[in-house]
């Protein structure tokens, strides 16, 4: 039986205040949602959010804590049976987006998290990385996935809390993989909904100066924090080979990547919560063992 109650949604929008027009567009797309009760907070990561639309609370963090920790801070500031995270340069074009995403979970309780299809509203080619599958296929096709594009995700608060939250030590990069894995470890499925759409500009992540270092460090930390001991070196080894092949003709980028790789092994990754072997089996049967 489908739950007919009007759902309550806590919405967390994280920003450093550098994209005011995009931020307002995203907040207005949230406030336009129908059929849900909203509690919306705009988290300023090292910035005091001002000039917000009516109905949006402000939470100022004294310093930039990084993306995962900033999102976690926002969760503590909102109420709701469901939690929705939206990047400050993303928006949702449909006024029933949240209701439709929640309906997916209510109709199939085995689904613990929903990520929509991401579309650049300007009509440019959408990056393949936005479809979080090895075999990308048609981005309009829905499926279980093992990582998420973090810019627009919805999940029940109870599921989010059971994951332990976003990986705060990561600061930036790959926190969506850990979140997806920890949803699977609850006996649930992380779901890519190709029939739901979020808008976001097509921007390369390599624009960040710290991209290569944190990309590598957090790959190692993913393994150290989440994988059974025997699988951790296999996962890191597989991704090391992939990156060497990918960036062999870019020695400066590869050097920065290996700097992060070494830091990942040397530095503390935070809390370790290895996946259960039955989760590894479920993920393998669903198409992607956690070794690549």
- Domain definitions of the chain by residue range: 9-203, 209-272
42-101 tens-digit pLDDT:
999 999 999 999 999 999 999 999 999 999 999 999 999 999 999 999 999 999 999 999
Res. 118: pLDDT tops 80: yes
Under 8 Å between Cβ of 72 and 168: yes
Give the other-Cβ count within 10 Å of 234's Cβ: 15
Spatial contact of 154 and 167, defined as CB atoms under 8 Å apart: no
What is the bridge-based pairing of β-strands 152-156 and 82-87?
antiparallel
Question: Does domain 9-203 sit in CATH 3.90.320.10?
Answer: no
* Residue-wise DSSP of 11-79: EEEEE-SS-HHHHHHHHHHHHT--SSEEEEEEEEETS---SPPTTEEEEEESS---HHHHHHHHHTT--
d(CA 82, CA 62): 27
**42: Cβ contacts below 8 Å, ≥ 6 apart:** 13, 15, 23, 27, 49, 52, 56, 57, 58, 59
The CA distance from 50 to 75, in Å, is 19
Q: Is the pLDDT of residue 1 over 50?
A: no
Per-residue model confidence as pLDDT tens digits over 217-270: 999 999 999 999 999 999 999 999 999 998 888 899 899 999 999 999 999 999
Strand 56-61 with 189-199, pairing: unpaired
Tokens 């090895």 correspond to 134
SS3 203: coil
CB neighbours of residue 228 within 10 Å: 14
Q: How far apart are CA 283 and CA 180, in angstroms?
A: 11
Using a pLDDT cut of 90, give the percent of the chain over it.
88
Q: Are 217 and 263 in contact (CB under 8 A)?
A: yes
């Amino acid at each position: 039986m489908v739950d007919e109650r009007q759902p309550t949604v806590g919405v967390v929008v994280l920003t450093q205040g550098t994209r005011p027009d995009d931020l307002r567009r995203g907040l207005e797309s949230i406030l336009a949602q129908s059929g849900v009760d909203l509690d919306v907070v705009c988290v300023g990561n090292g910035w005091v959010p001002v000039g917000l639309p009516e109905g949006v609370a402000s939470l100022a963090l004294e310093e930039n804590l990084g993306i995962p920790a900033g999102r976690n801070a926002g969760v503590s500031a909102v109420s709701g049976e469901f939690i929705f995270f939206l990047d400050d340069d993303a928006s949702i074009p449909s006024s029933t987006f949240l209701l439709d995403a929640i309906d997916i979970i209510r109709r199939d309780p085995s689904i613990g998290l929903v990520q929509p299809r991401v579309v650049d509203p300007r009509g440019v080619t959408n990056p393949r990385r936005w479809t979080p599958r090895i075999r990308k296929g048609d981005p309009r096709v829905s499926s279980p996935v093992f990582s998420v594009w973090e810019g627009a995700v919805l999940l029940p608060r109870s599921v989010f809390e059971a994951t332990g939250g976003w990986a705060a030590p990561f600061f930036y990069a790959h926190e969506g993989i850990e979140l997806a894995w920890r949803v699977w470890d609850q006996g649930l499925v992380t779901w890519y909904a190709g029939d739901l759409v979020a808008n976001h500009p097509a921007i390369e992540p390599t624009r960040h100066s710290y991209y290569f270092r944190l990309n590598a460090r957090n790959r190692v930390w993913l393994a150290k924090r989440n994988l059974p001991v025997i699988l951790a070196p296999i996962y890191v080894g597989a991704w090391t080979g992939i990156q060497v092949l990918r960036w062999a003709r870019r020695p400066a980028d590869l050097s920065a990547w290996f700097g992060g790789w070494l830091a990942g092994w040397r530095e503390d990754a935070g809390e370790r919560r290895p996946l259960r072997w039955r989760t590894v089996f479920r993920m393998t049967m669903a198409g992607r063992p956690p070794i690549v």
